[in-house]
Amino acid sequence: MSGSNASMLSEEEKAAHSKQMASPWYMPLAIICTAAVNCALPPTPTEKTMIEELKQNWSPIVQRIWSEPANSLDSDDGAVVERAVVGQIVVRLSTLDPSFIDTVIKPTDLTLAVCFRNWMHATKRDDAVINNTVILTLLQPELASPWQRYLAEHPPPSPPELLPRVTLGASKKAGAQKKRAPAQIADSMASGFAKHLASLHMSLPGALQEIALLRAFWTITRREFAPFARGVAKCGQLWAALAQIVRRAARATDPYDRKAVMRALMFYTDMIHYVTGDGAEFADDMIFNWVSGGLFDALDESVECVLHQEEGPKLLTLIATIIDGTFSTLSERTRAALRSQLPRTGMVWKIFKASLTHGDNDSAEQYAENHAAFGRGGIPNDRNPLWRQGAWEMFGLIAVKARGADRCARRACDKEAEGVRCATKGCKLTRYCSMGCMRQDGEHSDMCSKGWFAIMEQSAMSTIALERLSRLAV
């Protein structure tokens, strides 16, 4: 556009035209990125000289990007490459010369803040994953990466030291001058994870990396940045996104993609000490978000996949134990949500069948040893077969607690039971509001026809199961 034509534009038109242009610093960085990608491995002497010069000038470069984000934080597709380029350069140069990391982790360098801000504003897999990679690798240097050996020999600052440099990237909204308060930073971080995990652009391998960063933040911030834990507990969109990842991964055919089932469920179990300790006041919000976000649908759909994993029964038991351990403090809103999602008779039936595996508890001696492991303190071995028994007992128990004996036994019906009992002999507790509800409860009738539900009822109501499993929530 010529100078004379530009002078005729209104302020609004000038702003719109500016938005269509790349950020002023992007093209030079794109050239640097291309040069780095085309470097040999190991680099030639000339390329080594280039890398050394970049080390000397890198911090001023990211200082300018931090101060002048220009169009890089926009939501349109054109900004994706601008948000990715810093992370791409860092990853490539650190692969060519791992000592480049020393520049990135200097106390005054803003690379981590820029990468985290770019991650916060990411709209596609490309800009989310590359910035995630830079942050996660430095927070957890033991992870496999091209820099792993160098980081082992030259440890970066501890995660608590790096954390403020990372979260600085969430300290402002795009274009804002005023810094966010700590609670606002925490909420924006939790929302960032929710947005990425819920995105249709996020692949399951990308989701695995997002969950890895989420769990890393959870571990570090419990002591160093308490507002993040509160933000996670209260972020309904995050828990809904995690449940959706479980469902997506359970349908996947690729074994690597299916790992996302377990990784997502592990984050639920990470809450076990929080909701009975520092986060007890947020337990009700968190359990409500679990239930309303689709946790039980996700477990129903993924239970067979989970049971095939060595630690799967333990995760199921711990999730149910967290709900049971907080039940007495739950609001009527949360209890109503639980009633709407329970019982999960079909899911419990699948876990119950898995607990009948021959050889696990065939002798009294085997059973006694497996049982004793739950009374020794700590959490028993993943292979202990009583995790499977514990899982179906605990899910049966919370269903009984949530619905009580006075409500119709069919899920999604909240009417009072009026004496219509399951017709199967020995099924003592199952009552319905009407014959119609009893006929519609196909999951229950299927189990009863096989003669197992009466046994499950008796065991789920036993105090032995409660006494054994309640220790895990402490």
Summarised one tens digit per residue, pLDDT across range 325-354 is: 999 999 999 999 999 999 998 899 899 888
Phi, psi of 217 (to 5 degrees): -60, -40
State the pTM of this model: 0.89
Cα separations (Å) of 13 from 6, 19, 24? 9, 10, 19
Of the chain, the percentage scoring pLDDT greater than 90 comes to 64
Query: Is residue 178 within 8 Å of residue 130, measured between CB atoms?
Result: no
Q: How far apart are CA 181 and CA 357, in angstroms?
A: 53
Percent of the chain past pLDDT 70, that is, above it, reads: 83
Output the pLDDT for position 457. Answer: 53
Give the pLDDT score at 375.
63
In the chain the first and final C-alpha atoms are separated, in Å, by: 69
Q: What is the mean pLDDT of residues 178-193?
A: 94
Categorize the per-residue pLDDT at 212 as very low, low, confident or very high, splitting at 50, 70 and 90. Answer: very high
Res. 113: pLDDT tops 80? yes
Give domain limits for the chain: 24-170, 405-473
Q: Report whether pLDDT(424) > 50.
A: yes
Helix, strand or coil for residue 432?
strand
Cis peptide before 343 (omega within 30 of 0): yes
CB-based contacts of 175-179 (< 8 A; 24+ apart in sequence): 175/73
- The CA R_g of the chain, rounded to the nearest whole Å, is 27
Q: What is the average pLDDT across 396-401? A: 89
* Mean pLDDT value of segment 131-153: 93
pLDDT at 443: 79
Residue range 43-59: mean pLDDT, rounded: 97
Residue type, 363: S
Report the SS3 class of residue 396: helix
Other beta carbons within 10 angstroms of residue 381's beta carbon come to 12
Each residue's pLDDT tens digit, 213-245: 999 999 999 888 999 999 999 999 999 999 999
Specify the pLDDT at position 422: 76
Higher pLDDT, 48 or 174: 48
* Integer Cα distance of 71 and 107 in angstroms: 27
Nearest-angstrom CA–CA distance, 111 and 134: 9
Alpha-carbon span 240 to 245, nearest angstrom: 9
For the beta carbon of residue 239, count every other beta carbon within 10 angstroms: 26
Listed residue (350, 354, 337) closest to 411, CA to CA: 337
